[in-house]
Amino acid sequence: MCGRFSLATLPNTLARQFGVMDIPALPARYNIAPSQDIAVVRAGTGGRECTLLHWGLVPAWSKEPKTRYRTINARAETVAAKPAYRDAFRRRRCLVPATGFYEWQQQGDTRVPHYICMQDGGLFAFAGLWEHWQQGERTLDSCTLIVTEANRLMAPIHARMPVIIAPPQYADWLDPGNTDREHLQSLLVPWTATPMEAWPVSRLVNNPRHDSARCMARAGDD
């Protein structure tokens, strides 16, 4: 699963990489957690847009705007068929910009947090889905991240990792008119392109109230 990540980049870098013009105020975040609003890039009426959505997908058919913790992630293997995600997979795909993410490695009776990022420290994008919920005048736009099996770097830490979409595939993933399920599914694989790196961090990241660069510092250096 992916339950925490970071996004610390300049607005013009994000605009350039994702082809969007208007960027909402995005202060550097180092410990983004479920139930918070997160930046996503999606297809809008006038082209791509960057907006803030609630992390924890609420299906359109839900009676209440409440999310269960498990809706923060959707499994790549079943996302096209699960009732909570299948309509969004067909029509409402999005990208979630990030500069790194966290995962916890089981070591005996303890779980050790690790930070994972690109070796060049660059910006990348998770595969996501978004949904619009409405009951009367109440509305909520929410999202989930898609996860797949771990790559070789991640496997010793955790069995799963978020799907990362390569820039040449952004257009295919975001296009709501793209109904090629086989092609879309082919994008939901472990990342093997740009080299990644991982290191253990302090348990400071366990508490979402801690949101500073100290969360991603190597254990012992913070």
Q: Determine the length of the chain.
A: 222
**In sequence order, what E strands does the chain have?**
5-7, 29-32, 37-44, 47-55, 73-75, 93-98, 100-107, 110-118, 124-135, 138-149, 160-162, 196-200
Residue 77 a catalytic site member: no
> Torsion over CA of 112, 117, 119 and 123, rounded to 10 degrees?
-160
Structural domains of the chain, count? 1
Model pLDDT, residue 2: 86
Residue 221, in any domain of the structure: no
Residue 127, in any domain of the structure: yes
- Which CATH number is 23's domain given? 3.90.1680.10
Model pLDDT, residue 46: 87
Residue 222, in any domain of the structure: no
Give dist(CA 177, CA 159) in Å, integer: 33
pTM greater than 0.75 (yes/no): yes
Provide the 10 A C-beta neighbour count for residue 125. Answer: 24
Domain that holds residue 61: 5-216
The contacts of residue 25 (CB under 8 Å, 6+ apart) are: none
Residue 149, in any domain of the structure: yes
Model pLDDT, residue 68: 60
Q: Retrieve residue 118's tokens.
A: 């690109």
pLDDT of 180-194, one tens digit each? 999 999 999 999 988
Model pLDDT, residue 67: 65
Model pLDDT, residue 53: 97
Residue 143 a catalytic site member: no
Give dist(CA 35, CA 68) in Å, integer: 10
pLDDT of 71-119, one tens digit each? 999 999 999 999 999 999 999 999 999 999 999 999 999 999 999 999 9
Choice among 49, 50, 94, 103 that is catalytic: 103
Sites in the chain below the pLDDT cut of 50: none
